[in-house]
């Protein structure tokens, strides 16, 4: 089993971007400094990686609960991290381009202060720290080495899905409806993408209802290479706020927030793009975070089995642009500056993602 579609190479580097002007309804909340993903690549470790040969290639692995786990020392060596620091349960891997933070017992990973949610917790065994092979293969590797993903950069079409619509308003509050905000964002994004030379396929351009299967069917009528972006806004508890980005759960990984079940082992149509999915989500999520600055919180990049992610036959992400149910964030969502910043961040991400995954890989060598 290979770690990704092909071995791929570096993703993180500082990106210039303009945050939106601070809004004045309420003092801004502080968040960790976001080192944005630019996808102007620093080639870290352009090698072919196959864990089936770990015993011969220096990969130290153990079994935990029937799952394969790989040592952090092996990760450090393979991806050319120059420093590994452990303080109690906290672990930090660093090189000139990437800082990766982990915590034993936790399932969150911060890469350049962008949050990813692992499928399995980080574990300690003896003197070593280990991460699951699934998270290494399906998350870390595509993020750190995107330019070997097969044909991922060969696209000029973006499919935009404005969630809900018609008889389905989505989340609502006294200010507006999710369906309306979704279509406003979709139309704004379309205009910016067309100006960049992309072709855009809209699932809907008005307040019209389409079922989830109809959305998938429309997206799959696009036969040329494309990417799919589904736009939503969240609802939850009164204190819940921030943005989050979802990709399709790989086979063997549960739907976010749910226990693993037998059907999770089945491959869906969208799983043919597992590596491209996570690389696209990383680009989009990190770029929007940079644009929004302290006007949002990072809820992370997560994996789920939403219908539109499962059925669409293109690299796909689902973006949640804030909580309609949060008193302050509801005002942000309706603010033109906020909407413009989110759309601009997405366009930045799509342009740089296309460049990153379209870069020709350098010749492979053994670690």
Q: What is the CATH number of the domain that holds 193?
A: 3.40.630.40
Residues 165-187 have pLDDT tens digits of: 999 999 999 999 999 999 999 99
Please state, in angstroms and rounded to a whole number, the distance separating the CA atoms of residues 157 and 64: 42
- As a whole number, mean pLDDT of residues 122-141 equals 95
Judge whether 151 lies within some domain.
Answer: no
Closest CA to 317 of 356, 281, 275, 270: 281
pLDDT confidence band for 148 (50 / 70 / 90) = confident
Residues 13-33 have pLDDT tens digits of: 322 332 333 333 332 323 322
pLDDT at 336 over 80: yes
Judge whether 59 lies within some domain.
Answer: no
Domain hosting residue 196, numbered range: 157-358
pLDDT at 8 over 80: no
Judge whether 291 lies within some domain.
Answer: yes
pLDDT confidence band for 226 (50 / 70 / 90) = very high
Judge whether 259 lies within some domain.
Answer: yes
pLDDT of residue 82: 97
- Beta strand extents in 121-279 (DSSP E only): 123-125, 128-132, 157-162, 199-202, 226-234, 243-248
Return the half-sphere exposure (C-beta side, CA atoms, 13 A cut-off) of residue 313: 8
347 within 8 A of 192, measured Cβ to Cβ? yes
Judge whether 110 lies within some domain.
Answer: no
Residues 270-316 have pLDDT tens digits of: 999 999 999 999 999 999 999 999 999 999 999 999 999 999 999 99
Judge whether 58 lies within some domain.
Answer: no
Please state, in angstroms and rounded to a whole number, the distance separating the CA atoms of residues 64 and 73: 17
Judge whether 255 lies within some domain.
Answer: yes
Residues 47-69 have pLDDT tens digits of: 333 343 344 367 899 999 999 99
pLDDT at 34 over 80: no
Provide the number of structural domains found in the chain.
1
Over the chain, what is the mean pLDDT?
84
Judge whether 44 lies within some domain.
Answer: no
């Amino acid at each position: 089993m290979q770690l990704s579609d092909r071995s791929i190479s570096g993703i993180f580097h500082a990106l210039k971007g303009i945050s939106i002007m601070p809004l004045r309804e309420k003092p801004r909340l502080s968040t960790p400094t976001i080192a944005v993903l630019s996808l102007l690549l620093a080639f870290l470790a352009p090698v072919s990686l196959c864990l089936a040969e770990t015993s011969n290639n220096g990969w130290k692995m153990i079994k935990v609960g029937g799952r394969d786990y790989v040592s952090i020392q092996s990760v450090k060596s393979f991806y050319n991290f120059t420093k590994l620091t452990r303080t109690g349960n906290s672990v930090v891997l660093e090189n000139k381009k990437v800082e990766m933070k982990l915590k034993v017992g936790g399932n969150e990973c911060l890469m350049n202060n962008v949050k990813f949610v692992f499928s399995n917790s980080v574990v300690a065994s003896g003197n070593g720290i280990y991460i699951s092979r699934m998270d290494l293969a399906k998350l870390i590797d595509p993020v750190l080495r995107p330019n070997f993903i097969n044909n991922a950069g060969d696209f000029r079409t973006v499919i935009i899905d404005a969630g809900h619509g018609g008889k389905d308003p989505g989340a609502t509050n006294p200010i507006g409806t999710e369906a309306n905000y979704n279509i406003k964002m979709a139309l704004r994004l379309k205009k910016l993408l067309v100006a960049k030379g992309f072709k855009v396929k809209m699932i809907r351009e008005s307040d019209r209802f389409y079922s989830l299967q109809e959305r998938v069917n429309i997206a799959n009528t696009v036969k040329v290479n494309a990417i799919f972006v589904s736009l939503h806004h969240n609802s939850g508890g009164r204190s819940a706020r921030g943005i989050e980005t979802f990709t399709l759960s790989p086979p063997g990984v549960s739907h976010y927030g749910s226990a693993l079940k037998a059907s999770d082992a089945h491959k869906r149509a969208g799983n043919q793009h597992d590596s491209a999915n996570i690389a696209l989500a990383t680009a989009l999520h990190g770029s929007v975070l940079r644009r929004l600055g302290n006007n949002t919180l990072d809820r992370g990049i997560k994996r789920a089995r939403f219908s539109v992610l499962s059925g669409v036959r293109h690299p796909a992400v689902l973006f949640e642009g804030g909580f309609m149910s949060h008193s302050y964030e509801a005002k942000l969502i309706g603010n033109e500056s906020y909407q413009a910043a989110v759309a601009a961040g997405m366009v930045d991400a799509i342009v740089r993602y296309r460049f990153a995954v379209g870069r020709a890989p350098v010749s492979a060598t053994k670690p």
